Chain A
Amino acid sequence: MIQLHDYPLSGNCFKVRFLLEQLGLDYQSILVDFYPGYEHKSPRFLDINPLGQLPAIVDDGEAIRDAQAILVYLAAAYDNSDKWFPRDRQGEVYQWLAFADQLTGSISAARLHDAMFYRLDVGKARSDGVRLLRVIDEHLWFAEKDDLEWLLPLPHPTIGDVACFPYIALAEEGGIDLAPFSSVSRWVERFMRLEGFKPMPGMMPLPMPKETP
């Protein structure tokens, strides 16, 4: 069984949990006390990921680190539908995986500052985050013009959407208001309505019931 070294408040761990569940894979979540225990810097965890970063998975004895790399690995190894990581659109997918890395360096950093008291330049983290939100908002605005709903011109989300989603949905925890980015707000809402979506703490508003009771 796949072991996921996991932290419930990590957006990068959320991505991996989401894809594992979408692919219907059994996995064991091994909790790492990221804050305040800094267990990801402990010798036990550094044996799995010498970078001391979450998440990491161990599949059949093989350790794989980095959220985006794990998404690629899982989709390539276990997704027979070719839906999450379409083979003929790899360039576009990688573009959004790289974008997600920049979200980690900006919005996620601002959130670490606000919620977990990390010492860093939060003004720069927020303005970098806003710059990225403007770019993805414009991209999604163009998509909406073509009646499309996801980052790639396909009728379903890919690991590109999965990679970018959590830190955008959690932006308010880093002091970044999503309201000015209306195409992004609608995309977040759509993502939260996906079948099997389970929110993590900080993801609000909660997905709505499909039908009014």
Chain B
Amino acid sequence: MKTSELEAGWFPAGLQNYVLPKTAGRVMIFDNDIALWRGEDGKIRAWENRCPHRGMRLSYGIVRGNTLTCLYHGWTYDGAGACAGIPAHPELTPPKTIRAKAYRAADSGGFIWVANPDETTEAPSIEGDWVPNRSVHIDLAPTSLNELIKGMDAELALKITDRAAVVRVPGVTGEILLAFLNMKEHGAMIHTSIPASASVDAAIAVSKLTGRLRQIFKASSAA
């Protein structure tokens, strides 16, 4: 299992409602397998998707309170990644060296953002009141934000990161938040947020435009 670092900066890992409180999910960032989870406190956490005990995916784990319990042998980790209990050794206080590798994670603009543990910049703060709209899976990642914007016939309003921007799209009044995530051989994700004040029609129009990107960013062998 690979434990390499992500490229520098913050990655749009998914929509905020992809991981609801008291649940866990999974995301691939390039070929890094990452578990996302929220405790009862609603705080988003991103860890290497690998239990330090036997390598089981932590995204299969069970959230209780603000801890995550591995499905395999029940090793439990607190919100910061430290092992807090091992069922087979109930009397043992787990050594401090047993930790899940934690990335930085934050909610902003309706997206979940993930970065390396030692990322020095803060997660993008995006002005306005945004709500998650739709995530769409496509076969191939755009090579750049510009290519994505061009593919969507959009007009750049404000660049947020190399992978996210506020844009205007045809047929929709107002601005939307657009981002892409490269998952290498797993394809790519396009994420959109819309202003909280946007209509249902706008939400549907944005969803349809995103869906059409599949025709542009498709594997050459796909029909």
Binds B, one of A4-12, A99-107, A175-183: A175-183
Chain A, residue nearest B181 (CB): A180
Contact A180 B189 (CB under 8 A): yes
- A180 to B191 CA separation, bound complex (whole angstroms): 11
B40 on interface, CB distance cutoff 8 Å? yes
Is B85's beta carbon under 8 Å from chain A?
no
Stretch at the interface among B16-24, B122-130, B153-161: B16-24
Is A156's beta carbon under 8 Å from chain B? no
**Contact between chains at B134 and A141 (CB < 8 Å):** yes
CB distance from A128 to the nearest CB of B (A): 10
Query: Considering the chains assembled together, what is the distance between the CA atoms of A185 and B18 in angstroms?
Result: 8
Q: Are A179 and B25 in contact (CB under 8 A)?
A: yes
**Given contacts A145-B200, A206-B71, A138 and B211 within 8 Å (CB-CB):** yes
A212 on the interface (CB 8 Å rule)?
yes
A134 CA / B213 CA spacing, docked (Å): 13
Are A205 and B61 in contact, CB atoms less than 8 angstroms apart?
yes
Cβ–Cβ contact A180 & B187, under 8 A: yes
Bitwise, B62-75 to A at CB < 8 A (1) or not (0) is 11110000010000
User: How would residues 114 to 136 of chain B score, 1 for a CB under 8 Å from any chain A CB and 0 otherwise?
Assistant: 00000000000000000000110
Question: Quick check: is A39 within 8 A (CB to CB) of the other chain?
Answer: no
Bound-state CA distance A206–B15 (Å) is: 23
Instruction: Give the interface SS of chain B, mostly helix, strand, loop or mixed.
Output: mixed
B60 within 8 A of A: yes
Check A212–B22 contact: CB distance below 8 A.
yes
For the complex, what is the distance from the CA of A149 to the CA of B71, rounded to whole Å? 26
Q: Kindly provide the distance from the CB of B143 to the nearest chain A CB, expressed in whole angstroms.
A: 20
Tell me, yes or no, whether A213 is within 8 Å of chain B by CB.
yes
Query: Which one of B14, B27, B59, B135 has the highest number of Cβ atoms from chain A below 10 Å of its Cβ?
Result: B135
Whether the Cβ atoms of B18 and A182 lie closer than 8 Å is yes
What is the distance, in angstroms, from A136's C-beta to the closest C-beta of chain B?
Answer: 13
Is there an interface contact between A212 and B222, defined as CB atoms closer than 8 Å?
no
Provide the residues of chain A in CB contact with B15, threshold 8 Å. 182
Nearest-Cβ distance from residue B38 to partner chain A, whole angstroms: 13
What residues of chain A lie closer than 8 Å to B40, measured between beta carbons? 212
Within 8 A of A (CB), among B22-63: 22-28, 40, 59-63
What is the 8 Å Cβ interface bit string for chain A, positions 125-144, against chain B (1 contact, 0 not)?
A: 00100100010001001100
Chain B residues positioned under 8 Å from A179 (CB to CB): 25-28
A116 at the interface (CB under 8 A from B): no
Q: Are A204 and B211 in contact (CB under 8 A)?
A: no
Chain A 165-182 per-residue mask, 1 if CB under 8 angstroms from chain B, else 0: 000000000000101111
Asked if B204 is an interface residue, CB under 8 A from chain A, the answer is yes
- Given contacts A180-B137, A182-B135, A206-B62, whether A127 and B222 have CB atoms under 8 Å apart is yes
Q: Please, which residues of chain B bring their CB within 8 A of the CB of A186?
A: 20
Known: A205-B24, A212-B22. 7 other contacts (CB 8 A): A145-B204, A180-B137, A182-B14, A204-B60, A205-B61, A205-B71, A212-B65
Chain A: residues with CB nearer than 8 A to chain B? 127, 130, 134, 138, 141-142, 145, 177, 179-182, 185-186, 189, 204-206, 208-209, 212-213
| B-to-A contact residues, CB < 8 Å | 14-15, 17-18, 20, 22-28, 40, 59-65, 71, 134-135, 137, 183, 186-187, 189, 200, 203-204, 207, 211, 214, 222
For the complex of A and B, list the 8 residue pairs with the smallest distance between their C-beta atoms, beginning with the closest. Answer: A180-B137, A179-B26, A182-B18, A205-B60, A204-B60, A182-B135, A212-B64, A212-B65
